[in-house]
Structure 1
Amino acid sequence: MWRDSGKVYGARKIRHALEHEGVTLSRRRVNRIMKGNGMAGSCSKAAYRPRPARPNDDPAPDILAREFNGYAPRTHLASDPAYVRVGSSWAYVCLPGDLANRQIAGHSVGVGHDADLVLAAFAALRFPLDECVLASWRPLCERCFSAV
């Protein structure tokens, strides 16, 4: 059962699955059996990775000034990549939204949280970006639009 889960299930999930099959064991007993056989559940917490500090010397102008109302359609877009749990791994989704009517204007899905994800989302738009103001997460936005 542990191998069938991709070595992800811990004692709680294995106990619950066994209970569904009609086998009654305590979680502690399942845990002892797992430890005795060298089995352990997979932890889904992200590992800390230290990165070099990059000070932000030149602040970007605040064009929107936190005012998200009163714009014409397709002139002001905002996006922010988010992560979604898919099976036993994570996927990232970027949904640029139109601030005028609060509709999703495009989308992009990927396995990495990088500039290509945001670029693909804006490339999926069905209107030109000539006069658009784009708001996104600052460090990612800098990497995206320095590549364009």
Structure 2
Amino acid sequence: MFDKSSGRYGSPRVHKTLARQGVQVSRKRVARLMRDNGLKARVTLVTRRQPGLKRFKNRGENKLLQFGGTIACDQIWVADVTYIKLSHQWTYLATIMDRHSRRILGWSLSHTRTTELTLAALNYAIRKGRHTEGVILHTDRGVEFTASDFQSALSKAGIEHSVNRPGYCTDNAYMESFYHSLKGELIRNQLFNGIDHLRREMGRYINQFYNRVRLHSGIEYYSPIEYERMAA
């Protein structure tokens, strides 16, 4: 037997077994006896079981695959969480977007990535008084979105949950695009004096610039709020 950790023939198990039988041997003797008798080591591959993988894959479905494109607001919302480095500490931003108008409906910032973070963003969006019955909210499969508290809030608002297919991060490309713009236009090369400062600047960027001023090629070069007014 070949001991992979030491690169030598023999293993602690072999030596302990022989010792219990009253046979005193060394690694060198085991290696020599194996060579003399033409014995070769066989490495046994260990397959790691992943008991939660099947349950993870079966948790929810991507309802957008059958839905197609949107023709109005409040049909499909998308949500995600991203990391933002603040000094020497990570902060987490959860956002919810109306996919039709690209408007950010709700957001929340915290030092911890928990269900409370995503719930705060969801409640922010719901408090706007928009129509929620029958809305599809699409997210990844993270526990922040699949936890019972978050699911209960969705059910209470009449919102259906849709999730990415395992291994298909592009299923939520709209949110990835927003985070790319956010980090390029606000975060990169900027210094923030703590999370409160970052939260104020985030509010200005999202509520005053991104939703009201920034032009989007995907909505005919209108801002999200302008596009919603036109659609109404």
Give the TM interval when normalised to the shorter protein.
0.5 to 0.7
The Cα shift of 1:94 comes to: 0.8
User: Which region of structure 1 is more displaced relative to structure 2, 117-126 or 57-66?
Assistant: 57-66
Structure 1 pair 105–60 and aligned structure 2 pair: CA distance change class (3 A): same
SS in 2 for 1:116: helix
Task: Name the larger-Rg structure.
Answer: 2
Deviations 1:77-99 (A, max 9, x none): 10110010111111100111111
Structure 1 pair 67–128 and aligned structure 2 pair: CA distance change class (3 A): closer
Partner amino acid, structure 2, of 1:142: T
The runs of 4+ residues in structure 1 deviating greater than 6 Å are: none
| Partner Cα distance (1:78, 1:95) in 2 | 8
What is the TM-score of this pair, normalised by structure 1? 0.56
5 Å-filtered alignment, 1:1-148, equals 54-57=52-55, 58-65=58-65, 69-125=69-125, 126=128, 127-140=130-143, 141-143=145-147, 144-148=149-153
Partner amino acid, structure 1, of 2:136: V
Structure 1 pair 129–70 and aligned structure 2 pair: CA distance change class (3 A): closer
Q: Are 2:97 and 2:103, in contact at CA under 8 Å, matched by a contact in 1?
A: yes
SS in 1 for 2:64: coil
The Cα shift of 1:60 comes to: 1.8
The Cα shift of 1:128 comes to: 4.4
| Partner Cα distance (2:142, 2:65) in 1 | 18
User: Which region of structure 1 is more displaced relative to structure 2, 127-136 or 61-70?
Assistant: 61-70
Partner amino acid, structure 2, of 1:131: G
Structure 2: state its 5+ residue gaps: 1-49, 154-232
| Partner Cα distance (1:55, 1:92) in 2 | 26
Of all paired residues, the percent bearing the same amino acid is: 19
Structure 1: state its 5+ residue gaps: 1-51
Deviations 1:34-74 (A, max 9, x none): xxxxxxxxxxxxxxxxxx86224334232101867324202
TM-align CA RMSD: 2.4
User: Which region of structure 1 is more displaced relative to structure 2, 113-122 or 134-143?
Assistant: 134-143
Report the equivalent of 1:18.
none
SS in 2 for 1:70: coil
What is the TM-score of this pair, normalised by structure 2? 0.37
Q: Are 2:97 and 2:105, in contact at CA under 8 Å, matched by a contact in 1?
A: yes
| Partner Cα distance (2:113, 2:65) in 1 | 26
Q: Are 1:71 and 1:99, in contact at CA under 8 Å, matched by a contact in 2?
A: no
More helix by share: 2
| Partner Cα distance (1:128, 1:110) in 2 | 27
Structure 1 pair 104–53 and aligned structure 2 pair: CA distance change class (3 A): farther
Q: Are 1:73 and 1:100, in contact at CA under 8 Å, matched by a contact in 2?
A: yes
